[in-house]
Structure 1
Amino acid sequence: MAQMYFYYSAMNAGKSTTLLQSSFNYRERGMTPVIFTAAIDDRFGVGKVSSRIGLQEEAELFGAQDDLYQKLQDMSANTKIDCVLIDECQFLTKEQVYQLTEIVDKMHIPVLCYGLRTDFRGELFEGSRYLLSWADKLVELKTICHCGRKANMVIRMDETGRAIADGDQVVIGGNDRYVSVCRKHYKEALGK
Protein backbone atom coordinates (compact mmCIF):
# COMPACT_ATOMS: atom_id res chain seq x y z
CA MET A 1 0.00 0.00 0.00
CA ALA A 2 1.37 3.42 -0.97
CA GLN A 3 2.24 5.88 1.79
CA MET A 4 3.58 9.40 2.17
CA TYR A 5 6.88 9.81 4.02
CA PHE A 6 8.43 12.97 5.44
CA TYR A 7 12.20 12.77 5.97
CA TYR A 8 13.17 15.91 7.87
CA SER A 9 16.19 17.39 9.60
CA ALA A 10 18.35 20.44 10.05
CA MET A 11 20.76 21.30 7.23
CA ASN A 12 23.63 18.97 6.30
CA ALA A 13 22.00 15.74 7.46
CA GLY A 14 22.08 14.08 4.03
CA LYS A 15 18.48 14.59 2.92
CA SER A 16 19.35 15.01 -0.76
CA THR A 17 21.83 12.13 -0.59
CA THR A 18 19.13 9.89 0.86
CA LEU A 19 16.67 10.99 -1.85
CA LEU A 20 19.20 10.24 -4.58
CA GLN A 21 19.91 6.82 -3.05
CA SER A 22 16.16 6.06 -3.08
CA SER A 23 15.97 7.10 -6.74
CA PHE A 24 18.94 4.87 -7.56
CA ASN A 25 17.31 1.92 -5.76
CA TYR A 26 14.09 2.30 -7.78
CA ARG A 27 15.97 2.63 -11.09
CA GLU A 28 18.21 -0.34 -10.25
CA ARG A 29 15.08 -2.48 -10.00
CA GLY A 30 13.75 -1.29 -13.36
CA MET A 31 11.22 1.06 -11.80
CA THR A 32 10.53 4.73 -12.60
CA PRO A 33 10.83 7.36 -9.89
CA VAL A 34 9.97 11.01 -10.56
CA ILE A 35 11.99 13.63 -8.71
CA PHE A 36 10.74 17.14 -7.99
CA THR A 37 12.69 20.02 -6.50
CA ALA A 38 11.74 23.58 -5.61
CA ALA A 39 12.17 26.06 -8.47
CA ILE A 40 13.17 28.69 -5.90
CA ASP A 41 16.37 26.79 -4.99
CA ASP A 42 18.80 26.94 -7.91
CA ARG A 43 22.06 26.75 -5.94
CA PHE A 44 23.20 23.65 -7.83
CA GLY A 45 21.57 24.45 -11.17
CA VAL A 46 17.99 24.63 -12.35
CA GLY A 47 16.17 21.30 -12.26
CA LYS A 48 18.84 19.40 -10.36
CA VAL A 49 19.01 17.66 -7.02
CA SER A 50 22.59 17.67 -5.78
CA SER A 51 24.16 16.39 -2.61
CA ARG A 52 27.21 17.84 -0.93
CA ILE A 53 29.05 14.55 -1.52
CA GLY A 54 28.80 14.95 -5.29
CA LEU A 55 25.74 12.95 -6.33
CA GLN A 56 23.34 14.66 -8.71
CA GLU A 57 20.23 13.92 -10.78
CA GLU A 58 17.84 15.84 -13.02
CA ALA A 59 14.51 16.83 -11.47
CA GLU A 60 11.17 18.35 -12.37
CA LEU A 61 10.57 21.78 -10.86
CA PHE A 62 7.69 22.85 -8.65
CA GLY A 63 6.62 26.37 -7.79
CA ALA A 64 3.94 27.58 -5.41
CA GLN A 65 1.30 27.69 -8.18
CA ASP A 66 1.87 24.17 -9.53
CA ASP A 67 -0.76 21.44 -9.17
CA LEU A 68 1.39 18.40 -8.40
CA TYR A 69 -1.53 15.97 -8.64
CA GLN A 70 -2.32 17.18 -12.16
CA LYS A 71 1.36 17.07 -13.14
CA LEU A 72 1.57 13.43 -12.03
CA GLN A 73 -1.70 12.60 -13.79
CA ASP A 74 -0.26 14.03 -17.01
CA MET A 75 3.09 12.27 -16.58
CA SER A 76 1.49 8.92 -15.77
CA ALA A 77 -0.50 9.03 -19.04
CA ASN A 78 2.76 8.30 -20.89
CA THR A 79 4.71 6.18 -18.43
CA LYS A 80 4.20 4.14 -15.30
CA ILE A 81 5.42 6.06 -12.25
CA ASP A 82 6.51 3.93 -9.31
CA CYS A 83 7.51 6.61 -6.80
CA VAL A 84 7.52 10.39 -6.33
CA LEU A 85 10.52 11.97 -4.58
CA ILE A 86 10.30 15.60 -3.43
CA ASP A 87 13.45 17.55 -2.50
CA GLU A 88 13.22 20.84 -0.55
CA CYS A 89 9.66 19.92 0.44
CA GLN A 90 9.54 22.65 3.08
CA PHE A 91 8.70 24.97 0.16
CA LEU A 92 5.47 23.13 -0.66
CA THR A 93 2.19 24.91 0.02
CA LYS A 94 -0.59 23.43 2.13
CA GLU A 95 -2.54 22.72 -1.08
CA GLN A 96 0.45 20.94 -2.64
CA VAL A 97 0.88 18.70 0.40
CA TYR A 98 -2.81 17.84 0.04
CA GLN A 99 -2.20 17.08 -3.65
CA LEU A 100 0.58 14.69 -2.62
CA THR A 101 -1.88 12.86 -0.34
CA GLU A 102 -4.15 12.49 -3.40
CA ILE A 103 -1.26 10.98 -5.37
CA VAL A 104 -0.84 8.40 -2.61
CA ASP A 105 -4.53 7.75 -1.98
CA LYS A 106 -5.96 7.87 -5.52
CA MET A 107 -3.01 6.98 -7.74
CA HIS A 108 -1.48 4.52 -5.24
CA ILE A 109 2.03 5.91 -5.76
CA PRO A 110 4.36 6.29 -2.76
CA VAL A 111 5.56 9.86 -2.11
CA LEU A 112 8.84 10.47 -0.27
CA CYS A 113 9.42 14.08 0.85
CA TYR A 114 12.77 15.43 2.06
CA GLY A 115 13.25 18.80 3.68
CA LEU A 116 13.81 21.07 6.62
CA ARG A 117 11.39 21.02 9.52
CA THR A 118 12.02 24.54 10.81
CA ASP A 119 13.52 27.80 9.63
CA PHE A 120 16.27 29.93 11.20
CA ARG A 121 13.74 31.33 13.70
CA GLY A 122 12.79 27.84 14.88
CA GLU A 123 9.39 28.08 13.17
CA LEU A 124 7.81 25.52 10.88
CA PHE A 125 7.76 26.02 7.14
CA GLU A 126 4.27 25.72 5.62
CA GLY A 127 5.11 22.53 3.73
CA SER A 128 6.72 20.97 6.79
CA ARG A 129 3.74 21.84 8.99
CA TYR A 130 1.34 19.91 6.78
CA LEU A 131 3.72 17.06 6.11
CA LEU A 132 4.12 16.61 9.88
CA SER A 133 0.31 16.58 10.11
CA TRP A 134 -0.61 14.41 7.13
CA ALA A 135 2.35 12.10 6.32
CA ASP A 136 1.95 8.42 7.06
CA LYS A 137 5.55 8.06 8.22
CA LEU A 138 7.85 10.65 9.83
CA VAL A 139 11.59 9.99 9.74
CA GLU A 140 14.14 12.29 11.36
CA LEU A 141 17.55 12.34 9.69
CA LYS A 142 20.18 13.44 12.16
CA THR A 143 23.21 15.67 11.95
CA ILE A 144 25.43 17.03 14.69
CA CYS A 145 26.30 20.38 16.19
CA HIS A 146 29.95 21.43 16.55
CA CYS A 147 29.68 20.27 20.20
CA GLY A 148 28.69 16.73 19.19
CA ARG A 149 25.05 16.92 20.27
CA LYS A 150 22.19 16.40 17.81
CA ALA A 151 21.66 19.52 15.69
CA ASN A 152 17.97 20.33 15.43
CA MET A 153 18.14 24.10 14.82
CA VAL A 154 19.52 26.25 12.01
CA ILE A 155 21.24 29.61 12.43
CA ARG A 156 21.21 32.15 9.60
CA MET A 157 24.35 34.28 9.44
CA ASP A 158 24.91 37.72 7.96
CA GLU A 159 27.84 38.60 5.66
CA THR A 160 30.18 38.90 8.66
CA GLY A 161 29.28 35.52 10.13
CA ARG A 162 27.05 36.85 12.93
CA ALA A 163 23.83 35.01 13.79
CA ILE A 164 20.68 36.90 12.85
CA ALA A 165 17.15 36.42 14.14
CA ASP A 166 15.09 38.56 11.75
CA GLY A 167 14.36 38.59 8.06
CA ASP A 168 12.40 36.78 5.39
CA GLN A 169 11.67 33.14 6.12
CA VAL A 170 13.17 32.05 2.81
CA VAL A 171 16.65 33.15 1.81
CA ILE A 172 18.36 30.52 -0.30
CA GLY A 173 21.86 29.62 0.81
CA GLY A 174 24.17 26.88 1.93
CA ASN A 175 27.05 26.60 4.36
CA ASP A 176 27.98 30.20 3.60
CA ARG A 177 24.68 31.38 5.09
CA TYR A 178 23.44 28.68 7.48
CA VAL A 179 24.82 26.39 10.16
CA SER A 180 23.08 23.54 11.99
CA VAL A 181 23.41 23.56 15.76
CA CYS A 182 21.85 22.09 18.89
CA ARG A 183 19.20 24.09 20.74
CA LYS A 184 21.69 25.22 23.41
CA HIS A 185 24.08 26.73 20.86
CA TYR A 186 21.18 28.21 18.91
CA LYS A 187 20.07 30.12 22.00
CA GLU A 188 23.63 31.20 22.79
CA ALA A 189 24.25 32.44 19.24
CA LEU A 190 21.11 34.56 19.36
CA GLY A 191 21.69 35.77 22.94
CA LYS A 192 18.53 34.11 24.27
Structure 2
Amino acid sequence: MPELVFFSGTMDCGKSTLALQIGHNRSARGLQGVIFTRDDRAGEGKLSSRLGLVTEAVEAAPEMDLYGYLVGRMSHGGRVDHVIVDEAQFLDPAQVDQLARIVDDLGLDVFAFGITTDFRTKLFPGSQRLIELADRIETLQVEAMCWCGARATHNARTVGGEMVVEGAQVVVGDVDRSPEEIGYEVLCRSHHRRRMTSALAHAAALSPDTLPVETD
Protein backbone atom coordinates (compact mmCIF):
# COMPACT_ATOMS: atom_id res chain seq x y z
CA MET A 1 0.00 0.00 0.00
CA PRO A 2 1.28 3.50 -0.79
CA GLU A 3 2.32 5.58 2.21
CA LEU A 4 2.96 9.13 3.31
CA VAL A 5 6.22 8.84 5.23
CA PHE A 6 7.71 11.73 7.22
CA PHE A 7 11.45 11.52 7.81
CA SER A 8 12.28 13.99 10.57
CA GLY A 9 15.33 15.12 12.46
CA THR A 10 17.43 18.14 13.33
CA MET A 11 19.59 19.97 10.84
CA ASP A 12 22.79 18.16 9.91
CA CYS A 13 21.31 14.66 10.32
CA GLY A 14 21.34 13.72 6.64
CA LYS A 15 17.73 14.32 5.57
CA SER A 16 18.54 15.71 2.13
CA THR A 17 21.20 13.07 1.58
CA LEU A 18 18.65 10.34 2.28
CA ALA A 19 16.12 12.03 -0.02
CA LEU A 20 18.70 11.99 -2.81
CA GLN A 21 19.57 8.36 -2.07
CA ILE A 22 15.93 7.24 -2.20
CA GLY A 23 15.52 9.04 -5.51
CA HIS A 24 18.69 7.46 -6.90
CA ASN A 25 17.76 3.93 -5.79
CA ARG A 26 14.31 4.13 -7.36
CA SER A 27 15.64 5.71 -10.53
CA ALA A 28 18.15 2.87 -10.86
CA ARG A 29 15.18 0.48 -10.94
CA GLY A 30 13.47 2.38 -13.73
CA LEU A 31 11.07 4.35 -11.54
CA GLN A 32 10.42 8.02 -12.17
CA GLY A 33 9.69 10.44 -9.38
CA VAL A 34 8.88 14.09 -8.85
CA ILE A 35 10.94 16.01 -6.31
CA PHE A 36 9.43 19.03 -4.58
CA THR A 37 11.41 21.39 -2.38
CA ARG A 38 11.17 24.87 -0.94
CA ASP A 39 13.84 27.38 0.07
CA ASP A 40 16.76 25.01 -0.42
CA ARG A 41 20.19 26.38 0.47
CA ALA A 42 21.32 25.90 -3.16
CA GLY A 43 18.56 28.12 -4.55
CA GLU A 44 15.15 27.81 -6.15
CA GLY A 45 14.28 24.48 -7.75
CA LYS A 46 17.22 22.61 -6.20
CA LEU A 47 17.56 19.73 -3.76
CA SER A 48 21.02 19.80 -2.24
CA SER A 49 22.94 17.94 0.41
CA ARG A 50 25.74 19.33 2.56
CA LEU A 51 27.86 16.55 1.09
CA GLY A 52 27.81 18.54 -2.15
CA LEU A 53 25.18 16.56 -4.08
CA VAL A 54 22.59 18.59 -5.99
CA THR A 55 19.68 17.68 -8.24
CA GLU A 56 16.88 19.56 -9.98
CA ALA A 57 13.54 19.83 -8.20
CA VAL A 58 10.19 21.57 -8.48
CA GLU A 59 9.93 24.61 -6.21
CA ALA A 60 6.83 24.16 -4.08
CA ALA A 61 5.89 27.81 -3.89
CA PRO A 62 3.38 28.98 -1.26
CA GLU A 63 -0.19 28.11 -2.23
CA MET A 64 0.98 25.86 -5.09
CA ASP A 65 -1.40 22.94 -5.60
CA LEU A 66 0.94 19.94 -5.43
CA TYR A 67 -1.85 17.48 -6.16
CA GLY A 68 -3.02 19.53 -9.14
CA TYR A 69 0.53 19.78 -10.46
CA LEU A 70 0.91 16.00 -10.49
CA VAL A 71 -2.52 15.41 -12.03
CA GLY A 72 -1.67 17.87 -14.81
CA ARG A 73 1.69 16.23 -15.42
CA MET A 74 0.21 12.74 -15.55
CA SER A 75 -2.69 13.90 -17.74
CA HIS A 76 -0.16 15.05 -20.33
CA GLY A 77 1.53 11.66 -20.43
CA GLY A 78 4.15 12.22 -17.76
CA ARG A 79 5.04 9.21 -15.68
CA VAL A 80 5.17 9.55 -11.90
CA ASP A 81 5.93 6.56 -9.68
CA HIS A 82 6.66 8.33 -6.41
CA VAL A 83 7.07 11.77 -4.85
CA ILE A 84 9.92 13.15 -2.74
CA VAL A 85 9.50 16.36 -0.75
CA ASP A 86 12.48 18.03 0.90
CA GLU A 87 12.29 20.97 3.34
CA ALA A 88 8.75 19.79 4.04
CA GLN A 89 8.55 21.85 7.21
CA PHE A 90 8.12 24.94 5.00
CA LEU A 91 4.97 23.62 3.29
CA ASP A 92 1.60 25.11 4.03
CA PRO A 93 -0.67 22.75 6.01
CA ALA A 94 -3.00 22.66 2.99
CA GLN A 95 -0.11 21.41 0.86
CA VAL A 96 0.49 18.58 3.34
CA ASP A 97 -3.18 17.68 2.93
CA GLN A 98 -2.48 17.52 -0.80
CA LEU A 99 0.38 15.09 -0.17
CA ALA A 100 -2.02 12.81 1.67
CA ARG A 101 -4.44 13.05 -1.25
CA ILE A 102 -1.62 12.11 -3.65
CA VAL A 103 -1.16 8.91 -1.65
CA ASP A 104 -4.85 8.10 -1.30
CA ASP A 105 -6.20 9.14 -4.73
CA LEU A 106 -3.20 8.65 -7.02
CA GLY A 107 -1.73 5.63 -5.26
CA LEU A 108 1.81 7.08 -5.03
CA ASP A 109 4.33 6.80 -2.22
CA VAL A 110 5.26 10.21 -0.82
CA PHE A 111 8.52 10.61 1.11
CA ALA A 112 8.67 13.91 3.01
CA PHE A 113 11.81 15.16 4.74
CA GLY A 114 11.99 18.02 7.21
CA ILE A 115 12.92 19.33 10.60
CA THR A 116 10.20 19.29 13.22
CA THR A 117 10.75 22.44 15.27
CA ASP A 118 12.13 25.89 14.57
CA PHE A 119 14.81 27.88 16.39
CA ARG A 120 12.27 28.73 19.11
CA THR A 121 11.49 25.01 19.66
CA LYS A 122 8.02 25.57 18.13
CA LEU A 123 6.54 23.18 15.59
CA PHE A 124 6.59 24.28 11.98
CA PRO A 125 2.99 24.25 10.66
CA GLY A 126 3.99 21.90 7.83
CA SER A 127 5.70 19.49 10.21
CA GLN A 128 2.77 19.58 12.60
CA ARG A 129 0.39 18.64 9.81
CA LEU A 130 2.70 15.85 8.66
CA ILE A 131 2.76 14.43 12.18
CA GLU A 132 -1.03 14.51 12.17
CA LEU A 133 -1.44 12.84 8.75
CA ALA A 134 1.60 10.67 8.03
CA ASP A 135 1.16 6.92 7.79
CA ARG A 136 4.63 6.55 9.23
CA ILE A 137 7.13 8.84 10.95
CA GLU A 138 10.81 7.93 10.80
CA THR A 139 13.50 9.59 12.92
CA LEU A 140 16.78 9.83 11.07
CA GLN A 141 19.38 7.50 12.55
CA VAL A 142 22.38 9.72 11.79
CA GLU A 143 22.58 11.78 14.97
CA ALA A 144 23.71 15.38 14.70
CA MET A 145 26.03 16.44 17.51
CA CYS A 146 26.11 19.52 19.69
CA TRP A 147 29.49 21.26 20.03
CA CYS A 148 29.83 19.59 23.44
CA GLY A 149 29.61 16.12 21.90
CA ALA A 150 26.11 15.31 23.14
CA ARG A 151 23.28 14.38 20.80
CA ALA A 152 21.85 17.54 19.21
CA THR A 153 18.09 17.81 19.58
CA HIS A 154 17.38 21.50 18.96
CA ASN A 155 17.93 23.92 16.08
CA ALA A 156 19.35 27.33 16.95
CA ARG A 157 19.49 30.51 14.88
CA THR A 158 22.59 32.63 15.35
CA VAL A 159 23.58 36.18 14.46
CA GLY A 160 27.23 37.03 14.96
CA GLY A 161 27.68 33.75 16.79
CA GLU A 162 25.00 34.57 19.35
CA MET A 163 21.75 32.64 19.55
CA VAL A 164 18.52 34.55 18.93
CA VAL A 165 15.00 33.48 19.90
CA GLU A 166 12.93 36.14 18.16
CA GLY A 167 12.21 36.84 14.51
CA ALA A 168 10.44 35.38 11.52
CA GLN A 169 10.01 31.62 11.64
CA VAL A 170 11.57 31.13 8.19
CA VAL A 171 14.85 32.84 7.34
CA VAL A 172 17.01 30.91 4.89
CA GLY A 173 20.48 30.22 6.22
CA ASP A 174 22.88 27.36 6.75
CA VAL A 175 25.22 25.84 9.29
CA ASP A 176 28.22 26.85 7.18
CA ARG A 177 27.65 30.62 7.13
CA SER A 178 30.30 32.98 8.51
CA PRO A 179 29.77 34.17 12.11
CA GLU A 180 28.70 37.64 10.92
CA GLU A 181 25.77 36.23 8.94
CA ILE A 182 22.48 34.71 10.01
CA GLY A 183 23.23 31.05 10.46
CA TYR A 184 22.03 27.92 12.20
CA GLU A 185 23.55 25.52 14.66
CA VAL A 186 22.34 22.31 16.26
CA LEU A 187 22.55 22.12 20.05
CA CYS A 188 21.63 19.74 22.83
CA ARG A 189 18.64 20.84 24.91
CA SER A 190 20.81 22.04 27.78
CA HIS A 191 22.93 24.36 25.67
CA HIS A 192 19.93 25.54 23.66
CA ARG A 193 18.23 26.48 26.92
CA ARG A 194 21.35 28.34 28.05
CA ARG A 195 21.84 29.88 24.58
CA MET A 196 25.41 28.58 24.65
CA THR A 197 26.56 28.33 21.05
CA SER A 198 29.89 26.93 19.95
CA ALA A 199 31.19 30.45 19.30
CA LEU A 200 30.34 31.61 22.81
CA ALA A 201 31.76 28.46 24.35
CA HIS A 202 34.98 28.87 22.41
CA ALA A 203 35.26 32.54 23.35
CA ALA A 204 34.78 31.71 27.01
CA ALA A 205 37.25 28.80 26.77
CA LEU A 206 34.88 26.69 28.84
CA SER A 207 34.49 22.93 28.78
CA PRO A 208 31.05 21.29 28.94
CA ASP A 209 31.73 20.45 32.60
CA THR A 210 32.36 24.05 33.61
CA LEU A 211 29.52 25.84 31.88
CA PRO A 212 27.56 28.20 34.11
CA VAL A 213 24.46 26.76 35.73
CA GLU A 214 21.31 28.83 35.91
CA THR A 215 20.12 29.69 39.40
CA ASP A 216 16.87 31.27 40.50
Q: TM-score normalised by the shorter chain: which range applies?
A: over 0.9
Question: Counterparts in 2 of 1:1-192, with a 5 A limit?
Answer: 1-38=1-38, 41-77=39-75, 78-141=77-140, 142-158=143-159, 160-175=160-175, 176=177, 177-189=183-195
For 1:104 and 1:143, locate their aligned partners in 2 and report how far apart those are by CA, in whole Å: 30
**Identical pairs, percent:** 40
For 2:185 and 2:86, locate their aligned partners in 1 and report how far apart those are by CA, in whole Å: 19
Give 4+ residue runs of structure 1 displaced > 6 Å after superposition.
none
Q: What RMSD in Å do the two structures reach over aligned CA positions? A: 1.4
For 2:108 and 2:60, locate their aligned partners in 1 and report how far apart those are by CA, in whole Å: 18
For 2:31 and 2:59, locate their aligned partners in 1 and report how far apart those are by CA, in whole Å: 21
For residues 147-178 of structure 1, give each alpha carbon's deviation from its aligned partner in whole angstroms, at most 9, with x where no partner exists: 222211011111x2111111111111001200
- Structure 2 unaligned residues grouped into runs of 5+: 178-182, 197-212
Pick 1 or 2: higher relative contact order, CA cutoff 8 A, min separation 6: 1
- Structure 1 unaligned residues grouped into runs of 5+: none
- Post-superposition shift, 1:42? 4.8
Structure with larger Rg: 2
TM-score, normalising length: structure 1: 0.94
For 2:133 and 2:85, locate their aligned partners in 1 and report how far apart those are by CA, in whole Å: 15
SS in 2 for 1:99: helix
Structure having the higher strand fraction is 1
